[in-house]
């Protein structure tokens, strides 16, 4: 059972939400300087509301499942929770959209997982939603690995897609339980595939002084697990706070909402909800829903049995 407190849970989920909302307007752009990225973030915050995307929607669906169904993850039940929240306008990946169509046609979840990509997807969708698993089982290494893997299965059965989720879950867990996430923590993360191992090694040794364009080239910014999780963890490990981590993720370009969301989950887990800069909360769509989901997840940690109300 996790020893993580409500502050770390709320911090991680709000950090992820902030990264998703602030990264989404710039998804698919080229790398820019950090100065320009800071101006982009400032500009985005002038909008009345910043919409969240699939990253947040699926994180909420995973919490629905962990708290409302079973805490050890049943892939078919998790798929139903994803379908219940699914909204086509939230910027889902192309493979994911086709998968949802198959689920709606009544396909078996295991069969559908290899129908779109024959070896399963190695997209970063399983990694971007996995923070609740790291929070729930922080300190329980083997359970995190096992449950993160199961949480990937409805949508990502490719070993690299799964590994991205396992690595990200461990990163959130270590940040939440120690209050720290730097290069040492990054370098110690367990990766099972050559792709993630190489990515983590590159991230652990990449200086914080490189330009965003250099970092993007070295680590990747694509919506696939091994070319986004390392970049997100580099942002989290080398930036002093949540705001800088998100600004740096925006500067990298590419899959900005997801890289910023994963970086935000880790920094927010380490630093708590107070790390959300003043003035952000009222702009983030879904802020109150995420706080409520954090309360439910943290509540189910407290009683040790899962809150199935
Ligand atoms: O992983 P997934 O849910 O995508 C998440 C991304 C995030 O950036 C979100 O913000 C959203 O924008 O999408 O969805 P998938 O469609 O399973 O994977 C994402 C992409 O990875 C796919 O659309 C493919 O381009 C690529 N991809 C693959 N390409 C070839 N072969 C994933 N698996 C494969 C593969 O096996
Ligand atoms: Mg998205
Ligand atoms: Mg994305």
Beta bridge partners of 230: none
To test the pocket of ligand 1, the residue of 28, 82, 93, 232 to mutate (highest count of ligand atoms within 8 Å of its CB) is 93
The widest CA-to-CA distance across the chain, in whole angstroms, is: 51
How many residues make up the chain in this entry?
309
Helix axes 242-252, 229-238, angle to 10 degrees: 140
Backbone angles phi, psi at 304, to 5 degrees: 75, 0
Closest atom of ligand 1 relative to the 156 alpha carbon: 17
**Angle formed at CA 306 by CA 302 and CA 309, multiple of 5 degrees:** 110
Helix axes 229-238, 212-219, angle to 10 degrees: 140
pTM: 0.97
Domains of the chain: 6-302 (1.10.4080.10)
> Would you say the C-alpha torsion 300, 269, 277, 124 has a positive or negative sign?
negative
Please, which residues have CB less than 5 A from ligand 2, an ion? 53-55, 91, 257
Alpha helices in 141-228 (DSSP H): 141-152, 159-178, 183-187, 194-205, 212-219
DSSP 110-141: HHHTTTSSTT---BSHHHHT-HHHHHHTTT-H
pLDDT tens over the chain, length 309 residues: 466 899 999 999 999 999 999 999 999 999 999 999 999 999 999 999 999 999 999 999 999 999 999 878 999 999 999 999 999 999 999 999 999 999 999 999 999 999 999 999 999 999 999 999 999 999 999 999 999 999 999 999 999 999 999 999 999 999 999 999 999 999 999 999 999 999 999 999 999 999 999 999 999 999 999 999 999 999 999 999 999 999 999 999 999 999 999 999 999 999 999 999 999 999 999 999 999 999 999 998 765 444 333
Separation of CA 17 and ligand 2 centre (Å): 11
User: 167-179 burial string, b = 16+ CB within 10 Å, else e?
Assistant: bbbbbbbbbbbee
Q: Which residue has its alpha carbon closest to ligand 1 atom 33? A: 121
């Amino acid at each position: 059972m996790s020893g993580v407190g409500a502050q770390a849970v709320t911090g991680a989920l709000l950090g992820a939400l902030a990264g998703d909302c602030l990264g989404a307007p710039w998804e698919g752009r080229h790398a820019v300087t950090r100065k320009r990225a800071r101006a982009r973030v400032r500009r985005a915050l002038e909008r009345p509301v910043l919409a969240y995307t699939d990253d947040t929607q699926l994180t909420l669906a995973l919490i629905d499942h962990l708290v409302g169904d079973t805490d050890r993850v049943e892939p078919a039940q998790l798929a139903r929770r994803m379908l219940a929240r699914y909204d086509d306008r939230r910027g889902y990946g192309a493979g994911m959209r086709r998968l949802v169509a198959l689920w709606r046609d009544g396909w078996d979840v295991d069969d559908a997982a290899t129908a779109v990509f024959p070896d399963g997807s190695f997209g970063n969708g399983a990694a971007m939603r996995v923070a609740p698993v790291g929070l729930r089982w922080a300190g329980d290494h083997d359970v995190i690995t096992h449950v993160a893997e199961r949480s990937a299965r409805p949508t990502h059965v490719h070993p690299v897609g799964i590994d991205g989720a396992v690595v990200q879950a461990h990163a959130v867990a270590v940040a939440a339980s120690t209050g720290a996430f730097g290069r040492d923590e990054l370098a110690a993360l367990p990766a099972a595939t050559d792709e993630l191992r190489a990515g983590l090694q590159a991230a652990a040794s990449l200086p914080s002084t490189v330009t965003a364009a250099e970092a993007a080239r070295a680590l990747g910014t694509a919506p696939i697990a091994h070319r986004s999780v390392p970049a997100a963890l580099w942002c989290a490990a080398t930036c002093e706070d949540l705001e800088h981590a998100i600004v740096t993720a925006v500067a990298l370009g590419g899959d900005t909402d997801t890289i910023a969301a994963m970086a935000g989950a880790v920094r927010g887990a380490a630093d708590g909800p107070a790390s959300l800069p003043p003035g952000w909360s009222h702009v983030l769509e879904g802020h109150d829903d995420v706080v409520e989901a954090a309360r439910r997840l943290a509540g189910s940690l407290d009683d040790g049995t899962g809150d199935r109300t």
